[in-house]
Amino acid sequence: MIKPLARAISFSFILLIASISAHAESEPEIIRQMLDNMAEQSGGVRPTYESLKLDDSGNIILSGLLSRTGHGNNRVTISVDTIRFNGVSKRRSGTYVISQAEWNGAVIDLNNPDTGPVHLSVPTSTARNVYFIAAENLVTGKPNLLAGTAVYETGNIPVIKLKFDGKGFEAKNIKVKWKGDRDSGYGRWNMSLGSLAIPVKAISDRITATILQDLQYQILDIGFNGNFALEEKNGNLAVGSALTLSGQKMGQIELVFAGQDIPVALIEKMRQMQDGDKENMAGMMSYMMGMKLSGLKLRIADNSLIRKALPYLAEKEGMSLDAYIDSAVKNLKQALSDLPVPELQQQTVNAVRQFLLDPKNLTFQAKPEQPVSATVLMGLIIAPATAVKMLGVSISANE
């Protein structure tokens, strides 16, 4: 379900900034630029609309938008009743600004081998202070990595209604915030999903559904919060993310990542490969070797799931809870016996034992004193003890 939801959000906000027509002679410059970008992204297929209205205040109203892309078992169809852009203007850099965007009556149908048919309807959505990034900065002459995309200071989708695998769900209160450079699009994002409620009985895997029902869970109420950062300096990118996926009353999974010195040229080469340019892998590797890892963390926090599951599983095995935990720890220790870092092996066993005895949280992290390059990381494969020390690897429980 997460993959269709992510695609729905992506398509939804693309529509907020992409107004496209079959009547090029009546289109303002911003519409033509968006049309060209969307046509490029969809392999040359241009969406159509029924009507376009403009006024002297820079407002645009589109009606009857229809887009069809893909073919066979990999198709996307998008239709929107009305889209409204208020306060359209242009910055000196070439970036277009839309003070407020609103659309109503969107329907998105996805169909590909990974997801099968997915139907989404979005009754309404809004975005404020949308910046449509130009191909290059007209002031500096510098190409924009995020050319053709849009960032927006605030975006809001009250509800997305999903039909997937013959079942219906609702994703509610999807919000996006951004703050950064209006001409390049670099900056910091926050994205949140208030609730995606999935009835346990709707889960296709009957074993999983039965276990969850036995543990007295009737609804999986999933929430999400993510912070993202993308900055550029001297031709290199720095990226960071902190993602939290929560199952209400069940627990949370948190993933934090930070990297730097990622060449902008590498991103361009990757795009060229997607466009059919067969860049050899050796050339790509030369760009990748300087990338650096600044930090990584994975944290699992339990609200009730682990605490309920342990005695349940112990009973299924015909064991007491203490015996079941002892057995699990013994199996873990045996699995780690070949790890040539005794300190980390013991730390892992101790942390897992502590977590199973009192399920609060379990954290794995790599926290190097200085960012570690990909070249160094590859060299550390043959020296795991040195790698653990240099990367600052640790595992802890209930902190």
Amino acid at 112: N
Confidence (pLDDT) at 8: 47
Q: Cα-flanking dihedrals φ and ψ of residue 398, to 5°?
A: 60, 40
Q: How confident is the model at residue 42, as a pLDDT?
A: 67
CA angle (240, 243, 248) in 5-degree steps: 170
| pLDDT attached to residue 17 | 47
> What pLDDT sits at residue 279?
55
Burial class (CB in 10 A: 0-12, 13-18, 19+), 22: exposed
What pLDDT, on the 0 to 100 scale, is given for residue 4?
Answer: 45
Q: pTM (2 decimals)?
A: 0.82
Nearest C-alpha neighbor of 36 from the set 25, 50, 47:
47
pLDDT (tens digit per residue) in 146-190: 888 889 999 999 999 998 877 888 999 999 999 999 999 999 999
Return the pLDDT at 36. 75
| pLDDT-flagged residues of the chain (< 50) | 1-5, 7-8, 11, 15-25
What is the reported pLDDT for 377?
84
With vertex at residue 392, the alpha carbon angle to CA 387 and CA 397, rounded to the nearest 5 degrees, is: 120
